[in-house]
Amino acid sequence: MDRPVRWGIIGLGKIAHKFAHDLLLVKNSKLQGVASRSQSKAEIFAKQYNAQSIYGSYKDLITDPNIDAVYIATPHSYHKQNSLDCLAHGKAVLCEKPMGIDQIEVKEMADFAKEHNILLMEAMWSVFHPHFSFVKQKCEEGDFGKIRFLSADFGFLPEFDPNGRLYKKELGGGSLLDIGIYPIFIALYLLGEPKDISASATFYDSGADSSCTMKFDYGDGVIANLKSTLLEDTPTTCTIEFERATVIMHRRFHMPTSITITSRGLKEAKEFESIGYGYAHEIIHFNKLFREGLKESPVMPLSMSLTLSKTMDKVKNIIGLSYAKK
Ligand SMILES: NC(=O)c1ccc[n+]([C@@H]2O[C@H](COP(=O)([O-])OP(=O)(O)OC[C@H]3O[C@@H](n4cnc5c(N)ncnc54)[C@H](OP(=O)(O)O)[C@@H]3O)[C@@H](O)[C@H]2O)c1
């Protein structure tokens, strides 16, 4: 396929702006169309990022035959339906994290994509950043030995907005789904699934969690301490203690950043190249999958999205958090 991959974006909020900015930096792809619930918002967005088709309804973008791939940037509780609607119309889907509210939703999405033979990937952008692959490679090479301890946090103090998606439970609000997913992801990515999980949380009046601390126990003394919070601005770093080295992924560890490796008393700082805000890396990967006709990413496979949602469900059960509609 020689022509550019033609992208559409659904839900023109904060992250959609960053994604559109980075999409313009990626060769052989273009922003074909954008869709908002508001026509005027879509018009302003389209002008800013030079999108050709402007839609005041998501459905109109989904049925546009000139769109190949759709980036879903709506609140968590809409991810499943928006993705299924796109997949049903033959669009490849890059869906923001978390792909679904729980593992039942994620499984339904993965099964649908497989059944209809269409590309679906969760937009876990971190895994496409060079510092993530560097650390993963170090784990596989084994020079540093095995991981004995990992700690990762993600916390910030947003302005309280009772109508915002971080607070509202019906939009999938709370710290765990929004930012806890990153510390959990790095633990799963580097250490796999834990043998045991303990967790505790605090809650907003809405019932969404305002903070969550987790301990993943891998047996043989190997532990991951993880934390998400909307109550404090935390370092948002990740420390990985191997048998023969310690690696620190600096603030904020989930996005393009530097790392420090300390081994046998020697400290080495490592910098990595990044494109745009860092979303370009996942776009380049997704474009390649699309062009090659692949239906799943080998780097961020649907099995990983399922494990991620299954693990978050375990944490939710422990802290007594449920998004089931009453
Ligand atoms: N990868 C990352 O680094 C990253 C960073 C931040 C967020 N995210 C993810 O991206 C998604 C969107 O986050 P965001 O921060 O961009 O949120 P946001 O600013 O609130 O934007 C979400 C957009 O979804 C649309 N929407 C549809 N139904 C809605 C409803 N009932 N209430 C509110 N908005 C609704 C709106 O777009 P229209 O008005 O145009 O329809 C809204 O602007 C979330 O899943 C989040 O986890 C990822």
pTM: 0.98
Residue nearest to atom 43 of ligand 1 (CA): 13
Cα 96 to middle of ligand 1, angstroms: 9
CATH number, position 253: 3.30.360.10
Same domain, 204 and 233: yes
CB within 8 A of 82, min separation 6: which ones? 10, 11, 58, 72, 74, 95
Judge if the beta carbon of residue 165 lies within 6 A of ligand 1: yes
* pLDDT above 90 as % of the chain: 98
Residues 100 and 150 in one domain: no
* Structural domain harbouring 178: 130-273+308-319
Supply the pLDDT for residue 36.
98
For residues 235 and 201, give the distance between their C-alpha atoms in angstroms, rounded to a whole number.
19
303 in a domain, yes or no?
A: no
Q: Output 245-249 pairs: Cβ under 8 A, ≥24 positions apart.
A: 245/138, 245/143, 245/144, 245/145, 247/135, 247/138, 247/144, 249/131, 249/135, 249/186
Q: Are residues 34 and 61 in the same domain?
A: yes
Contact 50, 307 (CB under 8 A): no
Query: In 1-137, at which residue ranges do the beta strands (DSSP E only) sit?
Result: 5-10, 29-35, 53-55, 69-72, 92-95, 120-122
State whether 91 and 49 are in the same domain.
yes
Helix (H) and strand (E) counts in the chain:
10, 14
Query: Ligand 1 in contact with 26 (CB < 6 A)?
Result: no
Atom 7 of ligand 1, nearest CA residue? 15
- Kindly state if the Cβ of 15 falls inside 6 Å of ligand 1: yes
Q: Is 82 in the pocket of ligand 1 (CB under 6 A)?
A: no
- Chain segment 47-86, per-residue pLDDT in tens: 999 999 999 999 999 999 999 999 999 999 999 999 999 9
Q: In sequence order, which residues have a C-beta less than 8 Å from that of residue 268 and are 6 or more positions away?
A: 260, 261, 262
Are 246 and 262 in contact by the 8 Å Cβ rule? The answer is: yes
Task: Flag whether 326 is in a domain.
Answer: no
In sign, the C-alpha dihedral spanning 189, 324, 175, 286 is positive
Residues 90 and 64 in one domain: yes
Confirm or reject: Cβ of 178 under 6 Å from ligand 1: yes
Q: 41 CB under 6 A from ligand 1?
A: yes
- Could you give the number of structural domains in the chain? 2
Do 268 and 287 reside in the same domain of the chain?
no
Residue 45 clears pLDDT 70, i.e. is over it: yes
Q: For residues 134 and 111, state if they share a domain.
A: no
Using the atom order of ligand 1, give the atom closest to the CA of residue 76: 45
Same domain, 106 and 174: no
On whether residue 260 sits in a domain, the answer given is yes
Question: Which CATH number fits the domain that encloses residue 98?
Answer: 3.40.50.720
Residue 85 near residue 266, CB atoms below 8 Å: no
Going by pLDDT thresholds of 50, 70 and 90, the confidence category of residue 326 is: low
Are 136 and 250 members of one domain?
yes
